[in-house]
């Protein structure tokens, strides 16, 4: 009986795996788990004094090519950007880390700075600090499964798949509920992430992704009253300034980047978080080098198939251009860092 059960379960799993690989073009990929983030975060320590750490949202996660970065600067970057999340709590966390003395590259996606909490990956910092020995071992045990099974993906969990089926009726008068963001990345062990090829090659899937962005952008919560918003933003600027000062006091440096967006996304961001009211004050408050994609055609002349992330084919060129511009801007300000050979 047990053998029958095992064989049937294995057959079912095989069919499930085949469905995701063949019909849905999924490939096995690292899951971008909290455990994987914690593993990369632990690299920020005294053993890598000249580390280059990237924090930000999914744009920083997908747009930076770690291999190109290493080729150009000699440094294997530490990728800590988190999809759908505000990077400023991570900035504070690194500012409080006495071991960090390298270069911190902070990617800014302006609307995400105003999330009520940290965002999609809100639990990651607590996980990192409280990770148990058992959880650490489980992360290591999970890796071979993640790189073998295409179905073993957050996007393909049974109840996630069930919830997004079109046959569920809509409930009248239900307030807006944040839509699920589909899998759009393929990730490596060091958290190098590429925009999934299917987003570019499958128009139907691309439409699902852009539809999700449009729904989110059309249903943003109303801003708080002007005086509240001003006070909150000032508090944000003060925190950024304090964190950057802490990092400099430890011997590190911080630069800010604004990765590209296009079409509906770019228009929405221009309207709700204009450059001169969000990006510029942050860079000024930090007294840091800031590189905005609109500053140079080399940074804006890229394909963003779903309006928000650079095509995997363009990220190498974009990363090289970014490094060159960062080196130049840092040299102009007299900021010389071995991490980026400026």
Binding site for another protein (CB under 8 A): 1-2, 4-9, 12-13, 16, 132-135, 137-138, 141-142, 145, 151-152, 154, 156-159, 162-163, 168-171, 173-175, 177
Query: How many CA atoms, within 13 angstroms, populate the side-chain half-sphere of residue 73?
Result: 27
State which residue, 126 or 295, has the beta carbon closest to another protein: 126
Question: What is the distance between the alpha carbons of residues 243 and 288, in angstroms, rounded to a whole number?
Answer: 12
For another protein, the closer CB: 154 or 231: 154
At closest approach, how far in Å is the CB of 21 from another protein? 14
Q: How far is the CB of 169 from another protein (least distance, A)?
A: 5
Instruction: Judge contact between 226 and 232, C-beta under 8 A.
Output: no
Tell me how far, at minimum, the Cβ of 133 lies from another protein, in Å: 5
Q: What letters, b where the CB count within 10 A reaches 16 and e where it falls short, cover 230-251?
A: eeebeebeebbbebbebbbeee
- Name the residue nearer to another protein (CB basis): 131 or 269: 131
Indicate the residue among 168 and 203 with the shorter CB distance to another protein.
Answer: 168
Beta carbons of 123 and 90 less than 8 angstroms apart = no
**CB-nearer residue toward another protein: 141 or 331:** 141
DSSP lists the bridge partners of residue 253 as 103
Q: What are the angstrom distances between the C-alpha of 167 and each of 98, 159, 164, 170, 171?
A: 53, 14, 9, 9, 12
Closest contact distance (angstroms) between CB of 127 and another protein is: 10
263 Cβ contact list (under 8 Å, min separation 6): 304, 307
Q: Cβ 180 to another protein, closest distance in Å?
A: 11
């Amino acid at each position: 009986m047990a053998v029958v059960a095992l064989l049937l379960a294995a057959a079912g799993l095989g069919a499930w795996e085949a469905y995701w690989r063949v019909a849905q073009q999924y490939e096995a990929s690292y899951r971008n788990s909290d455990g994987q983030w914690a593993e990369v975060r632990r690299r920020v320590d005294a053993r890598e004094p000249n580390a280059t750490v990237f924090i930000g949202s999914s744009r920083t996660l997908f747009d930076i090519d770690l291999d190109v970065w290493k080729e150009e600067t000699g440094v294997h970057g530490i990728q800590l950007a988190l999809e759908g999340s505000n990077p400023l709590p991570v900035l504070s966390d690194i500012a409080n880390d006495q071991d960090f003395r390298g270069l911190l590259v902070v990617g800014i996606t302006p609307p995400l700075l105003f999330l009520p909490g940290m965002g999609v990956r809100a639990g990651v910092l607590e996980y990192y600090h409280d990770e148990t020995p058992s959880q650490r071992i489980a992360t290591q045990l999970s890796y071979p499964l993640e790189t073998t099974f295409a179905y073993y993906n957050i996007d393909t969990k049974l109840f996630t798949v069930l919830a997004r089926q079109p046959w569920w009726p809509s409930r009248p008068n239900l307030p807006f509920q944040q839509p699920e963001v589909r899998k759009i990345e393929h990730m490596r062990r060091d958290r190098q992430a590429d925009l999934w090829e299917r987003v570019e090659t499958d128009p139907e899937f691309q439409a699902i992704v852009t539809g999700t962005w449009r729904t989110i952008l059309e249903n943003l919560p109303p801003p708080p009253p002007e005086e509240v918003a001003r006070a909150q933003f000032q508090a944000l600027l003060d925190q950024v300034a304090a964190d950057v000062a802490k990092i400099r006091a430890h011997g590190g440096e911080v630069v800010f980047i604004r990765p590209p967006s296009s079409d509906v996304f770019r228009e929405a961001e221009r309207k709700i978080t204009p450059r001169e009211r969000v990006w510029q004050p942050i860079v000024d408050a930090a007294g840091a080098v800031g590189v905005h994609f609109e500053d140079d055609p080399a940074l804006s002349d890229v394909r963003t198939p779903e309006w928000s992330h650079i095509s995997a084919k363009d990220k190498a060129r974009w990363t090289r251009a970014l490094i060159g511009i960062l080196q130049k801007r840092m040299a102009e300000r007299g900021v010389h860092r071995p991490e980026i050979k400026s």
